[in-house]
């Protein structure tokens, strides 16, 4: 079967992935479908520039690879394959704390090859802060360029499919960043092994002061992930965050929160351009990336790649990143935009917009 878009990977992946995985709630996708385009015509679009700069690093397109845990459950090469594919695409991969490949293994991808090697590290804060310090310093030594602090999971949301399927890490795999610390294995439980692990290890006292604490143990910029309100966006900036990631954790933490694209405008307005804002959730098409950028010129969309990894390994992730790139470039051209700076709020219309008054020509 010839795969022509990202969502078609889902059907293939479901044949290979264990049934214990849960996915983004449908509203993250539906909200994108309710945004309509207002394309401009008769503009020379023979040349399209999709490059952008994030925290001083130039990337090939405003599409980054989202942090996803335990990728060897999807494919034997796991995070190593994803890292190579992201590097080949000239974009940034954010590595999860809960990986089945260590930070050092992922950092070693592409030796001797001309690879783009900018990576961020997503951090879960453990009760044992010495473990956190050690992990942050390992990531920094391995060449990672930013910390993505998960701020919306002091407890794990009620993930019913995990409970029904008794989710746990297979015995042949481990959380590689925590091997040797008696934290690398996930025991069986009566409901969800992951929920039990989080309850036992993750620090529920995590607060805004810890954003400041992290700045004392690393020179890497801190991005706060899980922001859905303007209030928290402003506090994040006051706490010294270098960037904000609008995310609802794939809809798996608290049900009935807004889709990320619906929360984006409030957050962007609150930041007043002081820090970059990222979108994590629901991005499956190049059109989604275009719809995100109308609000914030620096905003990249985070793309989950687990379906394509499960289906075809590194080759699948490469294909899906190329698909998103091609779709985004085509959307820009058909909307009359030659560079990212030309994408504006006037290029889209949403259900919450007030009636539009046409400007005088």
Please write the tens of the pLDDT for every residue from 97-115.
999 999 999 998 755 445 5
Residue 67 marked in a binding site = yes
When divided into structural domains, the chain yields a total of: 1
Q: What is the dihedral of CA 125, 127, 132, 133, to 10 degrees?
A: 130
| Per-residue pLDDT, 16 | 60
Question: Does 96 show up as a binding residue in the annotation?
Answer: yes
Residue 121 sits in which domain range?
6-350
> How far apart, in Å, do the first and last CA atoms of the chain sit?
49
Q: Binding residue per annotation — 249? A: yes
Is 1 within a domain?
no
pTM, 2 dp: 0.86
Between CA 133 and CA 328 the distance in angstroms is 39
Q: For the chain, what percent of residues have pLDDT higher than 70? A: 80
Q: Residue 259, annotated ligand binder? A: no
Beta pairing partners, 227: 246
Say which residue, 26 or 143, is predicted with more confidence.
143
Rounded CA separation 45/101 (Å): 42
Residue with the bigger pLDDT between 176 and 185: it is 176
Q: State yes or no: 338 annotated in a binding site.
A: no
> For residue 112, what pLDDT is reported?
45
Compare 1 and 337 and report the one with higher pLDDT.
Answer: 337
Question: Closest by alpha carbon to 71, among 217, 161, 176?
Answer: 176
State yes or no: 159 annotated in a binding site: yes
Query: Does 70 reside within a domain?
Result: yes
- Buried residues in 48-82 as b, exposed as e (16+ CB within 10 A): eebebebbeeebebbbbbbbbbbbbbbbebbbbbb
129 is in an annotated binding site: no
Whether 81 has a pLDDT exceeding 90, the answer reads yes
Q: How far apart are CA 149 and CA 220, in angstroms?
A: 12
Residue 247 marked ligand-binding? yes
* Lowest model confidence (mean pLDDT) among 22-26, 47-51, 235-239: 22-26
pLDDT digits 0-9 by tens, 298-325: 566 777 788 899 999 999 999 999 999 9
* Residue 220, domain member (yes or no): yes
- pLDDT tens-digit profile of 1-37? 677 776 776 667 666 655 544 444 678 888 999 999 9
Please check if 189 is assigned to a binding site.
no
* Radius of gyration of the CA atoms of the chain, in A: 20
Tokens representing 53 are 């700069």
Please give the residue that has the higher pLDDT: either 91 or 163. 91
**Is residue 358 assigned to a domain?**
no
The single residue of 75, 249, 294, 347 carrying the catalytic annotation is: 249
pLDDT in tens, 182-199: 664 555 555 555 556 666
Mean pLDDT, rounded, for 340-351 = 91
281 assigned to a ligand binding site: yes
For residue 361, tell me if it sits in a domain. no
Structural domain includes residue 203: yes
Q: What is the CATH number of the domain that holds 288?
A: 3.20.20.70
Please report whether residue 28 resides in a domain: yes
Q: Decide if 360 is inside a domain.
A: no
Mean pLDDT, the chain, as a whole number? 85
Tokens representing 190 are 């009566």
Alpha-carbon distances, residue 170 vs 10, 297, 348 (angstroms): 22, 42, 45
β-strand 52-54 against 57-59: which pairing, if any? antiparallel
- Binding residue per annotation — 68? yes
Distance CA 18, CA 12 (A): 12
Q: What is the 3-state secondary structure (H, E, C) of 74-93?
A: CCCCHHHHHHHHHHHCCCCE
Q: Which whole number is the average pLDDT over 36-43?
A: 96
**Cα distances (angstroms) measured from residue 29 to each of 21, 269, 327:** 18, 22, 17
**Active site includes 347?**
no
Question: Distance (Å, rounded) from C-alpha 232 to C-alpha 239?
Answer: 10
Q: Do the beta carbons of residue 280 and residue 260 sit within 8 Å?
A: yes
């Amino acid at each position: 079967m010839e795969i022509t878009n990202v969502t078609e990977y889902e059907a293939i992946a479901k044949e290979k992935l264990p049934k214990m995985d849960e996915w983004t709630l449908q509203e993250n996708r539906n909200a994108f479908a309710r945004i309509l385009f207002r394309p401009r015509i008769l503009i020379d679009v023979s040349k399209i520039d999709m490059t952008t700069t994030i925290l001083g690093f130039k990337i090939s397109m405003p599409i980054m690879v989202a942090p996803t845990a335990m990728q060897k459950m999807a494919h034997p090469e796991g995070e190593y394959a994803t890292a190579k594919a992201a590097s080949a695409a000239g974009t940034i991969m954010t590595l999860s704390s809960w990986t089945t490949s260590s930070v050092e293994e992922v950092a070693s991808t592409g030796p001797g090859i001309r690879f783009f090697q900018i990576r961020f590290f997503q951090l879960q804060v453990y009760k044992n802060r010495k473990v956190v310090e050690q992990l942050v310093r390992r990531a920094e030594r391995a060449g990672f360029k930013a910390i993505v602090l998960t701020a919306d999971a002091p407890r794990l949301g009620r993930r019913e499919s995990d409970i029904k399927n008794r989710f746990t890490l297979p015995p042949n795999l481990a959380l590689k960043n925590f091997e040797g610390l008696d934290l690398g294995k996930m025991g069986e439980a009566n409901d969800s092994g992951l929920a039990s692990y989080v309850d036992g290890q993750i620090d529920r006292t995590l607060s805004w002061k810890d954003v400041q604490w992290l700045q004392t143990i690393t020179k890497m910029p801190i991005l706060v992930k899980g922001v859905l309100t303007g209030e928290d966006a402003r506090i994040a900036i006051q706490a010294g965050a270098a960037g904000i990631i609008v995310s609802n954790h794939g809809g798996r933490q608290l049900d009935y929160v807004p889709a990320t694209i619906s929360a984006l405008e409030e957050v962007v307005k609150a930041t007043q351009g002081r820090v970059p804002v990222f979108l994590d959730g629901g991005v499956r098409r190049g059109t989604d990336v275009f719809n995100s950028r109308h609000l914030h010129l620096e905003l990249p969309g985070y793309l989950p790649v687990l379906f394509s990894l499960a289906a075809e390994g590194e080759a699948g992730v490469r294909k899906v990143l190329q698909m998103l790139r091609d779709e985004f470039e085509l959307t820009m051209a058909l909307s009359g935009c030659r560079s990212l700076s030309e994408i504006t709020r006037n290029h889209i219309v949403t259900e919450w917009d007030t009636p539009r008054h046409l400007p005088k020509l």
